[in-house]
Amino acid sequence: MKKNSKDQTRRKAAQAKIGKMQVTVGIDLGDEWSQCCFLNKEGEIIAECRVRTTREAMQGRFGKLQPAVIAMEVGAHSRWLSLELQRMGHDVIVANARELRAISGSDRKSDRVDAEKLARYARVDRKILRGIQHRSEEAQVDLLAIRGRAALVKMRTQIVNGMRGMVKSYGYRLPKCAAEEFAQQAKGLIPAQLKEPLEPLRQALEQVQKQIDIYEQRIKKLATEKYVETNQLRQPWGVGEITSLCYVLTIEDKTRFEKSRDVGCYLGLRPRRSQSSGYDPELRITKAGDCSLRSLLVECAQRVISKKAPDSALKRFGLRLAARGKKNAKKRAIVAVARKLAILLHKLWVTGEVYEPFPGDRQAA
């Protein structure tokens, strides 16, 4: 008991001392515990501690601290914690994990070392961390409709593939049809000896489809009533309510980019680069940013260059790239069209212009 009381007294004295200084803090976030490192103006470590990764514990540790610069790495807890710390008056930097190779690739990696490195980077030059901007809580909540639907669509695909495989193993085949209609189509086509064991799976598929329909109604309502700017983004053929809503909610602030071309880089649709001296190889895309939006844009790009798509400058661009090479040419063309589509949607959103399939060439249109 005496030892615990002494430790508590020591902690309180250290916290009071820190409260009077201008400090820089590095937080290595963990799921249950987070490691903190406090640096003074001279870069000396004045305190280190572990804090529970909860709102109450963080409020107790940083609520009374004078405004400080606090750096943390982006992760599952970084969004809510950064908002809480900003409400307390602190200057918060959420570091881009891709820029912290000195932390993730270190041969002496530990929570204490990581927290100290974050604090030192923030103290020396915050640009090193290339801080990211979290979306607002309202946008995050609305985005859950798209994320929830995606999870159910994945579940539906697994059930459909599972039923097809089980029926095939008995020498039968279920006919091709849209995933939305599979539960009803399969009802009268499953062989008699397999109906009883597969009926619970088919009923589960029906319930999953009903929940997907509910999500799609919610997405439609959000796109047409709450986020009316999505109407502007749905002008190009192949872009629907889900993609346009995900685009608006992910980017949120259309003025955050100086140029529309920066959106392609933000969504990870630009090639990586590893140039050294005269060596500059052609690499794959970075796949940075939101993977859900990137996947949706790739799906839209596949529709744009499909046979049933109407003629447009974007389609011709994709088909020219697809005709250049052999095996991977079409894949590269789809990614290139997705990048151009991301730029085009931002341009339409910012300017409010009417979409022209052949810009600057009305005769061809």
More confident residue, 209 or 14: 209
Whether residue 304 is found in the same domain as residue 322: yes
Each residue's pLDDT tens digit, 69-105: 999 999 889 999 999 999 999 999 999 887 777 666 6
Average pLDDT over residues 135-144: 91
Q: Does 362 lie in the same domain as 278?
A: yes
**Both 218 and 273 in a single domain?**
no
Question: Taking the alpha carbons of 44, 47, 52, 54 in that order, is the dihedral positive or negative?
Answer: negative
> Based on the number of CB atoms within 10 Å of its own CB, is 179 exposed (0-12), middle (13-18) or buried (19 or more)?
middle
- Pair (15, 67) in one structural domain: yes
Of 129, 160, 183, the position where a domain reaches its end is: 129
- CA nearest neighbour of 46 among 20, 18, 71: 18
Distances (CA, A) of 223 to 113, 126, 297: 45, 37, 17
Does residue 20 have a pLDDT over 90? no
The answer to whether position 233 is within a domain reads: no
Do residues 276 and 299 share a domain?
yes
pLDDT band at 108 (very low <50, low <70, confident <90, very high): confident
When comparing pLDDT for 312 and 99, which is higher? 312
**Statement to judge: residues 251 and 333 lie in one domain:** yes
In a domain, 293, yes or no: yes
Q: Is residue 337 part of a domain?
A: yes
Is the pLDDT at 177 greater than 60? The verdict is: yes
Residues 6 or more apart from 159 whose CB is under 8 A from it?
Answer: 201, 204, 205, 208
- Whether 268 is covered by a domain: the verdict is yes
The overall average pLDDT reported for the chain is 88
Q: What is the pTM of this model?
A: 0.81
Of 5, 22, 113, residue with least CA distance to 65 = 22
Task: Name the band, by pLDDT with cuts 50, 70 and 90, for residue 251.
Answer: very high
Given a contact cutoff of 8 angstroms between Cβ atoms, the answer to whether 333 and 315 are in contact is: no
Which two three-digit tokens encode residue 319? 């088909």
Q: Write out pLDDT tens, residues 159-170.
A: 999 999 999 999
Are residue 92 and residue 112 in the same domain, yes or no? yes
Q: What is the mean pLDDT of residues 201-230?
A: 95
Please report the pLDDT score of residue 333 as a whole number: 93
Specify whether 74 is located in the same domain as 162: no
pLDDT score of 149: 96
How far apart are alpha carbons 121 and 126 in whole angstroms?
6
d(CA 302, CA 296): 10
Structure-model confidence comparison of residues 20 and 72, the more confident one: 72
Distances (CA, A) of 186 to 43, 152, 153, 193: 68, 19, 18, 14
Dist. CA 356–CA 211, nearest whole Å = 37
- 64: CATH: 3.30.420.10
Asked if residue 200 is part of any domain, the answer here is yes
Confidence of residue 1 (pLDDT cuts 50, 70, 90): very low
Measured distance CA(121)–CA(100) in Å, rounded: 10
**53 occurs within a structural domain:** yes
Full domain range(s) for residue 286: 245-365
Question: What does the alpha-carbon distance between residue 26 and residue 42 come to, in Å, rounded to a whole number?
Answer: 15
Q: Are 266 and 308 in a shared domain?
A: yes
In this predicted structure, the answer to whether residue 365 has a pLDDT above a threshold of 50 is: no
Question: What confidence tier does 363 reach under pLDDT thresholds 50, 70, 90?
Answer: very low
Residue 360 forms part of a structural domain = yes
| Number of domain units in the chain | 3
Tokens of 307: 């046979």
Give the model's pLDDT for residue 136. 87
Whether 232 maps to a domain, the answer reads no
State yes or no: pLDDT of 264 exceeds 60. yes
Examine the pLDDT at 334 and tell me if it is beyond 50.
Answer: yes
Same domain, yes or no: 360 and 252: yes
Q: Residue 160: what pLDDT? A: 95
In this predicted structure, the answer to whether residue 277 has a pLDDT above a threshold of 80 is no
Name beta bridge partners: 35: 28, 50
